[in-house]
Amino acid sequence: MNLVILLGRLGRDPELRQAGDTTLCRFSLATSVRVKGEARTEWHQVTAFGRQAETCARYLTKGAPACVVGTLRTREYTTAAGETRRATEVVADRVEFVAARRERDDAAAGPAPAVEDGDDALPF
């Protein structure tokens, strides 16, 4: 089974491109884990295709939190110097836009509840 689930923040603005008839969007995603009390950051290259790519390019920006569900893919490419290199990336099946904590707290708080004056408002 080849399944990857990542929750992190974008390291740069997404790049939208056309490759023939295919639309693709690439971006980097940083994830962090604590190891013996020290934060360790991993960088993941993510590629989305089609409508998902267009949506990512439109709504995601550097620093935005996102959850990516997809698969790992390794590809080979040749540099300008003629060297063959390998790159491992996440091919996104689904990208969820995650509200930052402050945005969630503000939305959940909503307007302050109305308080009535008088004895009828007392529960006892």
Residues 6+ away with beta carbon under 8 Å from 107: 99
Q: For 25, phi and psi rounded to 5 degrees?
A: -130, 130
pLDDT surpasses 50 at 118: no
3 state SS of 72: strand
- Rounded to two decimals, the pTM is 0.74
- Residues 61-77 as b or e (16 or more Cβ within 10 Å = b): eeebbbebebeeeeeee
pLDDT at 112: 46
- The pLDDT of residue 35 is 87
pLDDT at residue 55 is higher than 60: yes
Q: What is the predicted pLDDT for the residue at 115? A: 38
Q: Quick one: which of 74, 17, 9 has its CA closest to 48?
A: 17
Question: Alpha-carbon distance 80 to 63, whole Å?
Answer: 31
Could you tell me the domains of the chain? 4-108 (2.40.50.140)
Name the token pair of 70.
């997809």
pLDDT of amino acid 46: 98
pLDDT band at 105 (very low <50, low <70, confident <90, very high): low
Q: What is the pLDDT of residues 8-48, one digit of tens each?
A: 999 999 999 998 999 999 999 999 988 888 999 999 999 99
